[in-house]
Structure 1
Amino acid sequence: MAFLQIERDGGIVIATMNQPETRNALTGNTAVEEFVRLCAEIRQDTSVKVLIVTAAGPIFSSGGNVKDMRRFFDEALTPESICEEYRQGIQRIPLALHALDVPVIGAINGPAIGAGLDLACMCDIRIAADTATFAESFVRVGIVPGDGGAWFLPRAVGMAKASEMAFTGEAIDARDALACGLISRAVPADELLPAARALAAKIAANPGTVMRMTKRLLREGQHASLASLLELSASYQALAHKTAEHREAVTAFIEKRPPKF
């Protein structure tokens, strides 16, 4: 059975992790390949404007399969081979999702644990059920965040809160997640997907080409100098001014009617 259940609604793609029997674990299955393939398809399909990542069952994702980690006790597995396994395995998910230039909404339906929390942090916007919990729990099983959590989590909540979560491994609830900026909204569980879809629809109502350029600028702004970002912004703006969407948006504004993209 496929790990991801894919649904398309106009310019919105909904990817639902659908292995509740494994707590939607991201290892020991086809999760990596399916996420990488989906991201590649979205990058090629300019009609896609938003991706929603959510999960079936009571848990968003437990991250790595802890029972499967016992195989690392085998002396035949060298540190070098384990390192390569991470490179060719779960580390491909953050690289694929981060390379997406469409907005990604995480609809967190339940506990997001370890790599499951890091997956949530790979999304641009996070909405959670008010019953969801979040834990950067690697230290509790004697390992480090091997999937990029040390890069994503501080960008989501700041270094101090990320350090507290990573050093203790303790879970926080949706109220605390909202307070520290890990999520932008907490809603009743039965309202989670409708809320994510409604937000996605607001985003998808805008021109797709400009949306992708806007996301690229936001990403570049995290590490580029102001001068470099301004130069890139000028280049993107020159392209944006020549799009059919810009012409339609301006015309519709002047004519006081909704634009037709």
Structure 2
Amino acid sequence: MKDISATAPTAEFIDVEMQGRSAIIRLNRPELRNAMNDQMRQELIAAFEWADRSPEVRAVVLTGAGKGFCSGGDIGGMRERLNVPQGDVAYNGWNRQKQTHRGVAAIHGCTKPVIAAVNGAAFGLGLDMAMACDFVVAVDGAKLSMSFLKRGLVSDGGGMYFLPRRVGLSRAKELILSSRVVLADEALSIGLVDRVTSADDLINTCMAWAEELTQGSPAAVALTKSILDKTFESSDDEVFALGRQAQAICYTTKEHRESIEEFLNKADSKA
């Protein structure tokens, strides 16, 4: 484990550590199943911004401390909302949602591959955050639920964007409207998660996969992610244009030049 104490942000509810070239960002409120409060949201944003700008970080694994990944929003915030004067409820909610969306955007917009290591229950906002990652690995028996409608709410962490892209529109509607619990094996079969493993192997599985995903140059990986994340909303011409721009940038990188020089030297030696 690499000591990153000098560069990683300090936090009360988020732990950060390095294993090889990957940063593990761990939600750390295990006594509350890692429920998200306002401070935790800010710390999560800071952790992902740090990982995104740090050249030593090539991939990120997001997981939870204890037996759960994230149970959703903190119940304390719900209690506060009931006690707020009626005229302030909407604005306060809008402002809090703004921070929630900043956190989800920091995960989804990270220029490095991000893997959710779902070590237990992922409900509501917890599942939204897992789906904001590029890949989702869940432990056997993990429970996942789009539980918002049980509280008279809509999915507020990007689930209505991410879920249809993972499981299709009709199934996304069914999972959201029913709020039912999906176990890891079913989640794998419908594409809600990408891999299922044992609790003992979860982090090692994610670390090994992260290493596979970081073989390319950082620039090529970042540019590829940014284009793929736009493909469902873009026309073919728009994707081609983005690809041209990205390729022009890649032509200038040291990784590309070194790779081409190595390839040409091998070719010349065989001639």
CA RMSD of superposed structures (Å): 1.9
SS state at 1:217 partner:
helix
Q: Aligned ranges for residues 116-195 of structure 1 at < 5 Å?
A: 116-195=126-205
Distance in 1, Cα, partners of 2:264 & 2:174: 51
Task: After TM superposition, give the deviation of residue 90 of structure 1 in Å.
Answer: 2.0
Comparing 73-82 and 62-71, the one that deviates more: 73-82
Q: What amino acid is the match of 1:112?
A: A
- The equivalent of 2:46 in structure 1 is 37
Comparing 204-213 and 190-199, the one that deviates more: 204-213
Comparing 88-97 and 13-22, the one that deviates more: 88-97
Distance in 2, Cα, partners of 1:2 & 1:223: 38
What is the TM-score of this pair, normalised by structure 1? 0.91
Quick one: percent identity of the two aligned structures?
31
Q: 1:128 to 1:255 in 2, by over 3 A?
A: farther
Matched, 1:243 2:243: no
- The equivalent of 2:4 in structure 1 is none
Deviation by residue 1:111-155 (Cα, 9 ceiling, x = unmatched): 101111101011001111112111000111222212222122212
Task: After TM superposition, give the deviation of residue 247 of structure 1 in Å.
Answer: 2.4
Distance in 2, Cα, partners of 1:255 & 1:246: 14
- The equivalent of 1:259 in structure 2 is none
Task: After TM superposition, give the deviation of residue 243 of structure 1 in Å.
Answer: 1.6
Deviation by residue 1:192-244 (Cα, 9 ceiling, x = unmatched): 11000001111223211111111111112231111111011012112212221
Comparing 244-253 and 119-128, the one that deviates more: 244-253
- The equivalent of 2:24 in structure 1 is 14
Query: Contact 1:113/1:137 (CA < 8 Å) preserved in 2?
Result: yes
Matched, 1:105 2:115: yes
- In the TM superposition, structure 1's runs of 4+ consecutive aligned residues that sit over 3 Å from their partners are 250-256
Comparing 172-181 and 238-247, the one that deviates more: 238-247
What is the TM-score of this pair, normalised by structure 2? 0.87
Segments of 5+ residues of structure 1 without an aligned counterpart are 257-261
Query: Contact 1:17/1:56 (CA < 8 Å) preserved in 2?
Result: yes
Distance in 1, Cα, partners of 2:207 & 2:20: 11
Matched, 1:46 2:55: yes
Q: 1:135 to 1:243 in 2, by over 3 A?
A: same
Alignment partner of 1:212 out of 215, 218, 222: 222
Distance in 2, Cα, partners of 1:103 & 1:202: 10
Q: What amino acid is the match of 1:127?
A: V
Task: After TM superposition, give the deviation of residue 85 of structure 1 in Å.
Answer: 3.0
